[in-house]
Structure 1
Amino acid sequence: MAETCKHPISIDTRSAGVLLHISSLPTGDLGRDAYRFVDFLAATGICVWQTLPINMPHTDNSPYQCLSAHAGNPAFISLDKLVEQGLISPTQSHECRITVFKVAYETAKKSAIYDDFIRFCQQHSAWLDDFSLYLLLRDQRHHQGWFDWPKQFKNRSPQALEKLANQYAEEINLIQFTQYLFFSQWIALKAYANSKQVQLFGDIPIFVAYDSADVWANPQLFKLDENMHMTVVAGVPPDYFSATGQRWGNPHYQWDAMAKDDYAWWVERLHTQAELFDLIRIDHFRGLEAAWEIPAHEDTAIGGTWAVAPGDALLASIYRQLPGIHLVAEDLGIITPEVDALRLKYALPGMKILQFAFGGDEHNPYLPEQIELNSVVYTGTHDNDTTLGWYRLAEAHVIEHLHRYLQNTEPVMPKALIELVMHSKGYLAIIPMQDVLGLGSDCRMNTPGTVIDNWNWRFAWPQLSWEHQQALKEVVEAAGRSHG
């Protein structure tokens, strides 16, 4: 196995990255295209590959509402890699995925891989045992949420769960083996990337889904009533963008209960992510200082209130128990001095989005001259339009400000914004792959507040011309960010 990168990037090292989710690779998995993408990054001097959360999603495929804070998405497992390992035949790779995984499991039982699988199960038992039971029960009940299961399973009767584990031991082993395949392929990809001086940059949502193994296995850590129903749900208050705010529907943490074991659930969650990634972004970081709690019976976010969270104690515990971890704070939106103080106390890099920089005054914190060194700077994120799409649809006063700033009334987009990002002071500059390819709004990854036609975009290798690669390499080098 290739040697991993020993020196994670720091604010002392100007670096560049590309944002691309695994599902947006041509094959959408951890096979040859993932390795080819690493080669592309290394050849252009890029040293960071940022993805969205890689956990197992619900049927809407949103990586921000997952069945587990630990379990990887089996859709990302490369069947070609299983053929290379001799776990399945080339013809078997065309079967449905669950059949393929069954064949691979039966083959693995007769090989040295099985011993490695057993070690994996032992190392990850803190979450894997509960997850496999949860997924088994959920599949048996046609994806019904755990809170609607029969009482003995909903309330985790030890006798009922032990009987289930014995009765369905092989089905549970298959679920765990599937996770073993995912983790094995991911760790191999990470080792390859690190050997090419490319680091993997992950992402975790601050909250977890109500219908998840995490809440089912640890109900005492969430604000639930005696019937396991949520008393309050997460969201954000009304603002300039929405008169009713956003009601996300995630359960809130019972922070007092988490504090009793030194935030072990959070530490274990981040320990898993630190195994998979070199850097980790915490989505909605401001929720670690205070989060918007909405009464569960409310249909909108209007009736919510701010509830203080123990971010200082939590981060202190995380860094004490995981001293080598590298975190990034998603601090977009309306951020209070208290949130800034928490981020700065732990020297977490914040995020700056250039699409937010124009249309206001010279004090806009996203303007390049306002960006501090300890920042990760983007043209846009997965929640924004592509830069070309944004430019085509932006309001007149935004375009006027941008043209005045660039001293150019006919800038080439997205090239002009990419150059601003790369030449900014922030230590890490990230460009979404859509902007690398110069694509429009039809290639947008996600539109917040909508549930249709999100998370589907994929690129194709013919789209990535030599000119695209050369342009990226040149701007990375010119900005002093190349690691080639």
Structure 2
Amino acid sequence: VPSDYFSPTGQHWGNPLFLWEQMEASGFYWWKLRLRMLFESVDLVLIDHFRGFDQYWAIPATDKTAENGSWVNGPGKKFFDAMIREFGTLPVIAEDLGLITAEVNTMRKECGFPGMKVLQFAFSEDWQQPFLPHNVEFLSVIYTGTHDNNTTKGWWKNVSPEMRQNVSRYLGFETDEESISAALVRLAWMSPANLALAPLQDLLNLDESSRMNLPGTIEGNWLWRCSNEELHSLDPNFLREWTEIS
């Protein structure tokens, strides 16, 4: 993808490009096999980089960064129409973060897929920011942060004083690094979104040393594991109460 919040030189994934014309000629056979296996294994599937089905960022194979590329048309809604004919209603979340066009939003809504809202991205001085809970639409999944974000406690330690002030203004009370995780989890749970998700690290109030992934890097990612002691230290009562209230 081109330059974004996570990487000024873009994200170079090193993936070969799909031959969409051949895939469509086969009736998207391989994709149907892949999705069938996923739907048999999990309750809900996150379609990462959803916008790539409308247009994707293609770069020369020899480039070392993702700066020099161009947008290429993907299969569009006809891909999802084929999947809906095969499976019926699709239990998916559309990852629609980053540079999202009106065409991508239209495709997502026509397919009936919820998009993503991330609270760590919400607290600029623009109170109409679409990630703020009061602006979130029902057809959404709201997160405190995703696997690509810092933990909420780690995020709080690294944001500007102005950002912290914006968070406190929105909450209506002062918070700190020991209480911020619970505060954002509660905001997510009370939002209008159809589904709210929080990483286990935020439920445990862990700092940046427990971050799962740092986009644009290879080493040291996806290593965090929850110990039995940490899991047993989690009090489920506050989640039960907030879920009942919401």
- TM range, smaller chain: over 0.9
Q: How many residue pairs are counted as aligned between the two chains?
A: 244
- Distance in 2, Cα, partners of 1:453 & 1:240: 20
1:426 equivalent in structure 2: 193
1:478 equivalent in structure 2: 245
Shift of 1:319: 0.6
Cα pair 2:20 2:75 within 8 Å, conserved:
yes
The CA deviation string for residues 13-71 of structure 1, in whole angstroms up to 9 with x for no partner, is: xxxxxxxxxxxxxxxxxxxxxxxxxxxxxxxxxxxxxxxxxxxxxxxxxxxxxxxxxxx
Say which SS state the counterpart of residue 398 (structure 1) adopts.
helix
1:444 equivalent in structure 2: 211
Say which SS state the counterpart of residue 245 (structure 1) adopts.
coil
Larger radius of gyration: 1
Cα pair 1:375 1:426 within 8 Å, conserved:
yes
Say which SS state the counterpart of residue 272 (structure 1) adopts.
helix
Cα pair 2:12 2:216 within 8 Å, conserved:
no
Cα pair 1:384 1:444 within 8 Å, conserved:
yes
Cα pair 1:436 1:468 within 8 Å, conserved:
no
Aligned AA for 1:477?
Answer: E
| 1:394 is the counterpart of 2:156 | no
Shift of 1:324: 4.5
- Distance change >3 Å, CA 269–CA 392, structure 1 → 2: same
Matches within 5 A, 1:150-169: none
Shift of 1:363: 2.1
TM-score by length of 2: 0.94
2:56 equivalent in structure 1: 291
- Distance change >3 Å, CA 379–CA 265, structure 1 → 2: same
1:325 is aligned, of 85, 90, 93, to 90
Shift of 1:467: 6.2
1:348 is aligned, of 104, 107, 113, to 113
Aligned AA for 2:185?
Answer: I
- Distance change >3 Å, CA 467–CA 326, structure 1 → 2: closer
Cα pair 2:6 2:215 within 8 Å, conserved:
no
Cα pair 1:359 1:398 within 8 Å, conserved:
yes
Matches within 5 A, 1:13-24: none
| 1:417 is the counterpart of 2:184 | yes
Q: What residue ranges of structure 1 are gaps of 5+ in the alignment?
A: 1-235, 480-484
- Distance in 1, Cα, partners of 2:148 & 2:131: 16
Say which SS state the counterpart of residue 248 (structure 1) adopts.
coil
Matches within 5 A, 1:143-292: 236-239=1-4, 241-292=6-57
Is the deviation greater in 307-316 or in 446-455? 446-455
**What's the RMSD between the two structures over aligned residues?**
1.5
- Distance in 2, Cα, partners of 1:350 & 1:255: 24
- Distance in 2, Cα, partners of 1:386 & 1:330: 19
- Distance in 1, Cα, partners of 2:227 & 2:7: 36
1:361 equivalent in structure 2: 126
- Distance in 2, Cα, partners of 1:436 & 1:391: 15
- Distance in 1, Cα, partners of 2:43 & 2:231: 26
- Distance change >3 Å, CA 454–CA 355, structure 1 → 2: same
Cα pair 2:212 2:224 within 8 Å, conserved:
yes
The CA deviation string for residues 94-146 of structure 1, in whole angstroms up to 9 with x for no partner, is: xxxxxxxxxxxxxxxxxxxxxxxxxxxxxxxxxxxxxxxxxxxxxxxxxxxxx
- Distance in 2, Cα, partners of 1:439 & 1:268: 38
| 1:335 is the counterpart of 2:115 | no
Shift of 1:375: 0.7
Matches within 5 A, 1:136-147: none
The structure showing larger relative contact order (alpha-carbon pairs under 8 Å, at least 6 residues apart) is: 1
| 1:312 is the counterpart of 2:91 | no
Matches within 5 A, 1:79-90: none
Runs of 4+ in 1 over 6 A off after TM superposition: none
- Distance change >3 Å, CA 241–CA 388, structure 1 → 2: closer
1:3 equivalent in structure 2: none
Shift of 1:240: 5.4
Cα pair 2:203 2:234 within 8 Å, conserved:
no
The CA deviation string for residues 437-457 of structure 1, in whole angstroms up to 9 with x for no partner, is: 111111111111122221111
Cα pair 1:377 1:429 within 8 Å, conserved:
yes
Q: Percent identity?
A: 43
Aligned AA for 1:243?
Answer: P
- Distance in 2, Cα, partners of 1:244 & 1:470: 44
| 1:468 is the counterpart of 2:216 | no
Say which SS state the counterpart of residue 382 (structure 1) adopts.
coil
- Distance change >3 Å, CA 353–CA 289, structure 1 → 2: same
Shift of 1:413: 1.9
- Distance in 2, Cα, partners of 1:463 & 1:303: 44
- Distance change >3 Å, CA 464–CA 269, structure 1 → 2: closer
Q: What residue ranges of structure 2 are gaps of 5+ in the alignment?
A: none
Shift of 1:472: 2.0
- Distance change >3 Å, CA 478–CA 247, structure 1 → 2: same
- Distance in 1, Cα, partners of 2:230 & 2:86: 44
Aligned AA for 1:342?
Answer: M
